Structure 1
Amino acid sequence: MAATSDPVDRRAALKAKSRKAILDAAAGLMRARRSADFSVDDLAAAADVSRRTVFNHFASLEDIVTAVAGEMLADVLDHMEAQATSAEPETVLGDLVAIASGVHLVPTIAYLVAIFGLDEHDDTRRAVLMQRAFHLFTNRMSASIATRHPEAEPLAVELLTAAFCGGLLGLVDRWIAATGAEDSPESRRAWDDLLADLTAVLREPATREPGA
């Protein structure tokens, strides 16, 4: 039985290695160029793979950039998980807020805004890439919070995490407008102020007076 599964295991390992090489190369190009503007040929050369291999793993360059951005956001979560191993869990919302605080999330968001481009006349591409990256982040966050709070009802955790991460995405443009997307103590405080507004809404959704 082991002899039969070995070729399959080797193929899976080689596939995973190629995928990682592509993502690592894309991340390197993004750092070096401070943008997500590179060609498939650039990426294939940097990853030391063929164009065909690139497209065997990803449908487009946008998918690759999104995957790299999602991993950067997930790194924030991984770091927080490592710090939280010896700490008592907060409430579900408390844990979400701790992960998304300015000191943790702003450096990555500022970097991604710079990579995706800060053209106020054409921000559609940035918005789409950020939305897709946050979708990956939401999935990771939901799984992490569910593991940290096994006593909580799974659907409630999933819905609250989705609402929270959707709210974070909604804060990004407001934060850019207020700070110019610079990572600084002031911009981190501005993010935390927006985060407090989001948290307040999730705790107690705003109501409107009858007839207002």
Structure 2
Amino acid sequence: MTTDQPADGRSALRAERRLAILDAARALATEHGSAGFTVDQVAARAGVSRRTVFNHFAGLDQLLVAVCEQRLAETTTELLDEVDRRIAALHRTGPGAGLGTGPGTGPGTDLDGRTVLAAVAGSARGVDLPTAIASIHLVLGAPAPADERAQHISRTAFEHVGGRLREHLQLRAPDLDALDLELTLALMFSGITTIADIWLEQHPDLPPDVPDAARAEWDRLLERLLHHLRLGPAD
């Protein structure tokens, strides 16, 4: 019992320092842009050593990806919940609805894979992506469209969200064809980041509280993306 407390204390301290580093990096990036600060400045603002920063993150790019992921955490939870809701609705109304309750009869069972994947893509409608994208844009210092480093950081963060969704679907709908799932998610998240770039070019000075007109334009872009995704996998 006595050996657990120091370990727990170290874990809590490590988590506290990591959060302080993320908060410091987010503030500095918002103030100066993704390329406008150093590890030393992050360490000073977080109240930790330079070595501690590197103990948590390999470099500034990895740190900024983590900052973006932190901002996307709530959106990711909303997305996973929306996927569950849509697949559960399909299971209730699709073939074999109500025929089983044991293992192998959960959401996705006895459903056409294309229908499930279309529902997964459609889940993007049910989450507040505009606020998340606008917030990340501000966190990275409102970079210009030609800022390849900032684009890489934000795209990597969204790819990690796609990875979480993939793992979630492998548990919730294990009968889905693996290649169809990979292709759908790759196209979905590549499409989301592409229309996000277009949207931000059209609305470069977005506040975190996204105006209705900008939201309407996002909805139009998203519907065009989903129209292409609805073509579905080959038979």
- Segments of structure 1 that go 5 or more residues without pairing to the other structure are 206-212
User: Which of the numbers 163, 184, 201 marks the counterpart of 1:139?
Assistant: 163
Letter in 1 for 2:118: L
Q: Give the direction of change, closer, same or farther, for the CA distance of 1:131–1:22 in structure 2 (3 Å limit).
A: same
Matches within 5 A, 1:1-212: 14-30=13-29, 33=31, 35-36=33-34, 37-81=36-80, 88-89=88-89, 91-98=116-123, 100-101=124-125, 104-116=128-140, 117-120=142-145, 122-180=146-204, 182=206, 183-204=210-231
Contact 1:25 1:46 (C-alpha < 8 Å) held by counterparts: yes
The alignment yields a C-alpha RMSD, in angstroms, of 3.2
Letter in 2 for 1:136: H
TM-score, normalised via structure 1 length:
0.75
Q: Percent identity?
A: 32
Q: Give the direction of change, closer, same or farther, for the CA distance of 1:202–1:195 in structure 2 (3 Å limit).
A: same
Letter in 1 for 2:51: R
Distance 1:83 1:161 in 2: 15
TM-score, normalised via structure 2 length:
0.69
Shift of 1:109: 0.8
Letter in 1 for 2:222: L
Shift of 1:83: 6.5
Higher share of residues assigned helix: 1
- Aligned length, in residue pairs: 201
Out of 175-184 and 46-55, give the one that drifted further: 175-184
Alpha-carbon deviations, 1:61-88, whole Å to 9, x = none? Answer: 1211111112222320213445777773
Out of 68-77 and 14-23, give the one that drifted further: 14-23
